[in-house]
Amino acid sequence: MIVWAVILGIFAFKLTGAEVGTSVVWLTLLAGYFLPVVIALARQHQNALAIGIMNLFLGWTGLGWIFALVWSCTNNHA
């Protein structure tokens, strides 16, 4: 019962259009940041965990993100 009260309490407040737009932008950026990991998992890449760890720690550099993306698109899958 407490869980439902918490869930309903989270959704009880109203969002403005700007807040919804900001949330959509942040979720889109987050999904884009982890795109190499999603690709690696979808392709059942043998090194998906390593790609994910590298993307998490080095993806912010841009070069690390590009390397993770290229690595996730290689044919090295299980």
Mean pLDDT (the chain) is 86
Residue 29 located in a structural domain: yes
Predicted pLDDT of residue 31: 93
Residue 60 located in a structural domain: yes
Instruction: Give the total number of structural domains in the chain.
Output: 1
Over range 65-76, report the average pLDDT: 93
What burial class does residue 51 get, using C-beta atoms within 10 Å of its C-beta: 0-12 exposed, 13-18 middle, 19+ buried?
buried
> Model-level pTM?
0.73
Predicted pLDDT of residue 7: 62
21, amino acid identity: G
Find, among 10, 5, 12, 60, the residue nearest to 36 by Cα: 60
Q: Is the pLDDT of residue 13 over 70?
A: no
Find, among 42, 63, 62, 41, the residue nearest to 51 by Cα: 41
| Boundaries of domain holding 63 | 17-72
Neighbours of 24 (CB within 10 A): 10
